Chains A and B, each alone.
Chain A
Amino acid sequence: MSVSRRDFMAMGAAATAGAAIAPGIRLIELAQAKSPEEAVTAAQRWGLLIDTNKCNKGCTSCVDACHTENGIDHEQLKGSDATKPQWIRKVEVKDPNTGYEHSLPVMCQHCQEPPCVDVCPTGASFKRADGIVLVDRHICIGCRYCMMACPYKARSFEHEDITGQKEYAPRGKGTVESCTMCVHKVDRGDGTTACAEACAKEGHNAILFGDLNDPKSEIAQTVRSKATRRIREDLNLDNSVRYIGI
């Protein structure tokens, strides 16, 4: 194969252009990655997909992992089950007509139209740009209106003094708290949550964490190809937590 001088020049130009542009493209990719100092943006929308077919009745690894990760110690607390914090719980659901039973974890559903944020008088309940719903424990006055408004019973009021807190998950008596979607792990770039990690470790893989806005992510691809549902879809709250099999 002979290459004319003209073709050679053209290929050379293309190669030079490619070499010049490629790092630029890589830079765009890098620029989209977030440093810890940067504010979150709506470029990401973090979510969870829970496959109840894979969730084992009686298994509480996700709950245990959440407690360990976020410094929640029920043993240490004096109150009843109804006063202890419940960021995530296992719910058993049975269809009385067919007898079909399944088990699923329920946590904050990180609604994009969160009723808790609507009703909070001080703005302590807020939604980050990336869809994670949190409580600012510094301006929560403990009125508990968000708990009245939450359709998922996902929020807990801290009923007593707590010790052994994690510095990345500050909590305090007299304020309201709930699942943070392990926001400290997300911001650190771990790419998973404590519950999803624990579930995978058990070999169940029922909880999938990821960026719903990233078309290449496993969660985005799965929700695109399978029927998924949100709890209480009638309320149209656009939850970031989706379920298969409910």
Chain B
Amino acid sequence: MKKAIHFRMIEGNSLGFVALLAVLGAIIAAGLGATYYMEHNGHWVTGMTNKVIWGTPHVFAVFLIVAASGALNVASIASAFNRVAYKPMARLSALLAITLLVGGLAVLVLDLGRPDRLIVAMTYYNFKSIFAWNIYLYTGFMAIVGIYIWVMMDNSVRQFYKAAGIAAFIWRLALTTGTGSIFGFLVARQAYDAAIMAPMFIIMSFSFGLAIFLLVLMCSMKWTGRPIGDRILNRLKNLQGVFVAAVLYFAVAYHLTNLYATEHHGIERFILLDGGIYTQLFWIGQILIGGIIPLLLLFTPLSRSRGVIALAAVLVILGGLAQMYVIIIGGQAYPLVMFPGMEVSSSFLDGAIAEYSPSLPEVLLGLGGVAIALAATTFALKVLPFLPASLADADVDPHYKEETAEASAEAA
């Protein structure tokens, strides 16, 4: 017998709730202050240069935008793929998709040379630019997911549930294709100019988005005293494990292809072998912390502990940030190859590895974007019924049987 799913707003009057919003608010304020400082003085006060053009703000912004589309996974599984057990989590999933995107876009816009000209970006379009397409993909995503949330919450428009779910799923694939193609379409640089960027970003979004969703879900349910069943959590952690493995696979495919072509040996040597911080971030950050350790945590008996599952999600996020750093900043730090096979030098550091270290304002702006996403989520949970009253197996799992529960209790 299928039970009705109950959603309930969080009360949002506890000290913890207020403290959480206060901390997030302080981080947002610091981010805005950092923006003012950078825009007032100009970008020379940051670590960014004419060689490393996009810095730490872009690492955060692209990470958040990629994670936003991935946060929608759970909702898509429920609607587009008819998995009933995921339905109670679909609203939170869609909410996070919007808030993470807002956070990422805020960082992107606030790092523009002229953020005051946002209206220009909205009124002048060059339709050959993938950036211009993305403006439509991002705003369209928010609109479609907004409608999706509406049909999930309002029974009078229930008949559009499936259609909205499928539309949102297709749109999120297009969106992440667009984000990956920002780099995939760059013919000039050795690290980019690869069609694999688009699907790789999609799979990265699956993994990073689910990791953030898992953490937000576990925290919000725990802090409001709502149960999560072992079976549902087990499904989510297995899914997370598969996504982590897929991200590793794409990293292998990307580097293997590059290693085969002599023209890319320089950049591969730089990232994999002697790139200093970028090599360390690749092997220790992306591969070990973001890949191998989470896989071990998720697919061994260790994963019986919820703390371990949460730790794995944290590591996936840290590894994801490292991966973004390697792609975005490592890709720029390696010099442009204008004269293949030649040694070059100039007053503008031709042929030399570009130096870059993140400045405090850049980091604050990036963290500000994360805080915007989390604060918006926290606030939304208080004003609309996004969070299920219970995710206990008996309440949400269509295959739940008393006996299995007893059997698993005995086994434990």
Contact = CB atoms under 8 A, between A and B. Distances in A.
A42 B339 CA distance: 31
A108 interface: no
Contact of A141 (B44, B120, B332, B342): B120
Contacts of A148: 53-54, 186, 188-189, 332
The majority secondary structure among interface residues of chain B is loop
A93 interface: yes
A83 B114 contact: no
B112 A122 contact: no
Interface in A133-153: 139-145, 147-153
A106 B336 CA distance: 13
A175 B131 contact: no
B117 A89 contact: no
Given A119-B131, A144-B54, A231 B113 contact: no
B43 interface: yes
Interface string B339-355: 10111111111100011
Name the interface size band of chain A.
Answer: 35 or more
Contact of B336 (A81, A141, A153, A158): A153
A150 B53 CA distance: 12
Given A93-B342, A145-B129, A159-B42, A235 B347 contact: no
A105 B398 CA distance: 71
B132 interface: yes
Name the interface size band of chain B.
Answer: 35 or more
Contacts of B187: 115, 149, 151, 235
B50 A143 contact: no
A140 B114 contact: yes
A81 B347 contact: yes
A106 B41 CA distance: 29
B273 interface: no
Given A115-B188, A157-B53, A121 B114 contact: no
B44 A231 contact: no
B126 interface: yes
Interface in A216-243: 231-232, 235
B252 interface: no
A245 to B, nearest CB: 12
B272 interface: no
Interface in B319-338: 332, 336, 338
A139 B118 CA distance: 10
A147 B342 contact: no
Given A119-B131, A122-B120, A159-B42, A90 B343 contact: no
A167 B113 CA distance: 22
A96 B341 CA distance: 8
Contacts of B338: 91, 106, 151-153, 231-232
Given A93-B343, A232-B338, A83 B44 contact: yes
B121 A90 contact: no
Nearest to B343: A94
A244 to B, nearest CB: 15
Given A121-B121, A153-B51, A235-B187, A81 B349 contact: yes
Contacts of B41: 160
B113 A174 contact: yes
B39 interface: yes
B224 to A, nearest CB: 40
Interface in B126-148: 126, 128-132, 135
B124 A157 contact: no
B125 interface: yes
Given A89-B346, A141-B121, A174-B114, A78 B53 contact: no
13 contacts: A79-B49, A89-B346, A91-B344, A91-B345, A106-B338, A115-B188, A118-B128, A140-B113, A141-B117, A143-B131, A145-B131, A148-B54, A174-B42
Given A91-B346, A106-B346, A160-B44, 17 more contacts: A83-B49, A83-B50, A93-B342, A93-B344, A94-B344, A95-B343, A106-B350, A117-B128, A118-B128, A119-B185, A121-B131, A123-B126, A139-B117, A142-B115, A142-B117, A151-B188, A176-B113
